[in-house]
Amino acid sequence: MRDDHDDELVWQTSQEKADAVSHLFRRRPHNLIEKIEKLGFTYRVDDSEDAEDIAEERAARPKTTVQTVLVYYLDGADTPTESLLALWREETQRNNTPFPLWRQYFRAGNAQLKKLILFGLDRDATDRDLLDSLTFLHSFLPMPKELLTRYKLACDRESDPQRFRELAQDFDASTSSFGYDALQALQAHYADCAVKKSVIDGLLVEIEKHEDTVAL
């Protein structure tokens, strides 16, 4: 019969292996898969993942000073700053930015990346690009509570009806993966706010019409 001491040893061993794997992802050695398997894990690509994308991510390296600065931050433990946030915005919004380089940090659920995204949202709660990034990170590092909190705050802060409509649509799409009905929740939340309730009512009518059309 196992006692608490045995459970503690199992937990400690598992934690040490998990920490070791996390360290490998931060270092990204060329023989990453081999090293992971030596720790007793089997590296698998899920059916939903694109093996070609993952191969591109493994091969991606920073090629400019800005990219090197961002990688240094993401691989380290520094605190986010306004200048780092500005560099991230500028770099990731360029058409020719190396997406595989940044995507690997999302896929790894990088803690530094999450800090930077939340740092930006603390300064501009309604930033759709940052909210999209948080949603993408959530697909690899589940954080439904954080996602709900940030989108609710964004909807509360946004006063422009068109931008509020876009945020509400983003909110609904981002949280549907874990069964949350954002539009119904927003409809109840803004029951006493005529403008925002009207926007949500309109979106729900559009969805109902679309479902009726599909059902025909």
On whether residue 40 sits in a domain, the answer given is yes
Helices H / strands E in the chain, number of each: 12, 0
By mean pLDDT, which of 30-39, 62-71, 76-85, 181-190 is the weakest?
Answer: 30-39
On whether residue 201 sits in a domain, the answer given is no
The whole-number pLDDT of residue 52 equals 86
With 90 as the cut, is the pLDDT of residue 168 above it? yes
On whether residue 81 sits in a domain, the answer given is no
Range of the domain at 17: 1-44
In which residue are the tokens 């306004």 written? 82
On whether residue 195 sits in a domain, the answer given is no
On whether residue 68 sits in a domain, the answer given is no
Number of domains in the chain: 1
Q: What is the mean pLDDT of the chain?
A: 84
**Mean pLDDT to the nearest integer, 88-105:** 94
Closest C-alpha to 58, from 109, 103, 92: 103
**C-alpha 99 chain-centroid distance:** 15
The whole-number pLDDT of residue 46 equals 53
pLDDT per residue as tens digits for the range 121-161:
999 999 999 999 999 999 999 999 999 999 999 999 999 99
User: From CA 39, how far away is CA 119, in angstroms rounded?
Assistant: 34
The whole-number pLDDT of residue 83 equals 98
**Mean pLDDT to the nearest integer, 179-206:** 96
